[in-house]
Amino acid sequence: MLKQKPSALPLRYAIILGAVGGLGALIFAVAGGLGQSAVTAQDFVDLQEGGNPHLGFRRAHAKGFCIAGEFVSNGSLQPFSTAPMFAASSTPFVGRISIAGNNPTAPDLNAPVRSLALSLGEGANRWQTAMNTPPVMAVVTPEAFYEQLQALSPDPETGERNPERIRAFFAEHPETQTFRNWQAGYTPSNSFATEIYHSINAFYLINENGERQAVRWAAMPTVNNGEPLNSDDTNALQNEFFNRVESAPVAFDLTFTFASGADDETNPTVLWPSERRNMIAGQIVVQKAVPEGEGNCNNINFDPLILPTGMAATADPILRARSAAYAESYRRRAREHLLQQAPENN
């Protein structure tokens, strides 16, 4: 029996499960699992789901809702990338706004991280990006991220996090300092519309001459913080966003930061200096927001390695780990959706 009833999207899942399962396996094979890592995608997802999975849901960022709109490009990135969505044009997108964690009913306001994921373009020119509120990761490698997740996991005996274990992890990992500084200075805003969402990992833009430029990007809010929210409302942020979009579209400036030769594009723990070139590629305009069960974002795996022509992944090992783990999470939740339709096959 399923623990929770996910929205039923069986046929779409059946088709996509085949496609994504194949793609995930291919990416995993090409990348040699998680590179030289001893940690597998299954290990990550086992840990993230926490021993008692919310069946049918994402094993991370489980609580979220679907959005739709268009990316209105101003054409400024065209000299740097042949990706069609960077020509002066509008490209429709489907996306998802979520909070971190494996609990699909968690209170919005307790979440340490908020997220924006987008899928735009078609076929070989599809671009999927999943962005988070922190500008950097705490650690450099998948193995260290796994250790971080272990340190932050609740003790099975008490159900509580172990502060000693967390302190010990951070003490052993000085590369976490920039992330911890961000964490200490971060004040969550009163709306998903007023957060900054970062790509964190770096990617390459590739132009028609084959020249590569390492970049990170961020969706920057275009409106000021809203009124304080009702802290008793578990869905306070979702409700605020639904109301907001009903009265007017919500826009973010999609801003690209260009690495210089001095920056290591494979290390997501280091902020690039503020004097690096920034360029606004256009606006992400959210025109619609609906609960997950009513939208079409649930059947998307926002794999960060799905990139259009004119963009490529850097050698950052976290990207391969993410791709493999997202595929594993997707495989589990898609299977659970299908079994719910045919429980006698279980």
179 binds ligand HEM (CB under 6 A): no
Q: How far apart are CB 343 and ligand HEM at their closest, in Å?
A: 22
269 binds ligand HEM (CB under 6 A): no
13 binds ligand HEM (CB under 6 A): no
Show the beta-strand stretches assigned E in the chain.
63-73, 89-99, 114-120, 127-132, 197-198, 203-206, 212-221, 250-258, 278-291, 311-313
Piece in contact with ligand HEM (CB under 6 A), picked from 194-202, 227-235, 244-252, 308-316: 194-202
Helices (H) and strands (E) in the chain, counts: 7, 10
**Residue from 45, 136, 237, 311 binding ligand HEM (CB under 6 A):** 45
Whichever of 44 and 256 has its CB closer to ligand HEM, that residue is: 44
Whichever of 98 and 283 has its CB closer to ligand HEM, that residue is: 98
Site string for ligand HEM, 301-340 (x = CB under 6 A): xx---------------x--xx--xx--xx--x-------
Site string for ligand HEM, 109-138 (x = CB under 6 A): ------x-x------------xxx----x-
First CA to last CA across the chain, in angstroms?
9
The CA distance from 112 to 225, in Å, is: 18
User: HSE (CB half, 13 Å, CA atoms) of 161?
Assistant: 13
Whichever of 98 and 340 has its CB closer to ligand HEM, that residue is: 98
Q: How many residues does the chain have?
A: 346
Q: Would you state the structure tokens that stand for residue 268, as one six-digit string?
A: 């997501």
Q: Which residues does 167 contact at the CB level (< 8 Å), separation at least 6?
A: none
**Helix, strand, or coil (residue 69):** strand
Site string for ligand HEM, 153-172 (x = CB under 6 A): --------------------
**Residue from 63, 65, 91, 96 binding ligand HEM (CB under 6 A):** 96
**Residue from 9, 27, 28, 44 binding ligand HEM (CB under 6 A):** 44
The CA distance from 128 to 117, in Å, is: 7
- List, by residue number, the catalytic residues: 61
Cβ atoms of residues 263 and 214 within 8 Å: yes
Piece in contact with ligand HEM (CB under 6 A), picked from 10-18, 43-51, 163-171, 178-186: 43-51
**Residue from 53, 84, 121, 142 binding ligand HEM (CB under 6 A):** 142
The CA distance from 182 to 166, in Å, is: 17
Q: Which residues does 297 contact at the CB level (< 8 Å), separation at least 6?
A: 64, 65, 66, 67, 94, 95, 96, 117, 119
218 binds ligand HEM (CB under 6 A): no
Q: How far is CA 218 from CA 115, 134, 202, 287, in A?
A: 11, 10, 11, 19
58 binds ligand HEM (CB under 6 A): yes
Site size toward ligand HEM (CB under 6 A) is: 31
Q: Which residues bind ligand HEM (CB under 6 A)?
A: 44-45, 48, 58-61, 64, 96, 98, 115, 117, 130-132, 137, 142, 145, 199-201, 301-302, 318, 321-322, 325-326, 329-330, 333
Q: Which residues define the annotated binding site for heme? A: 326
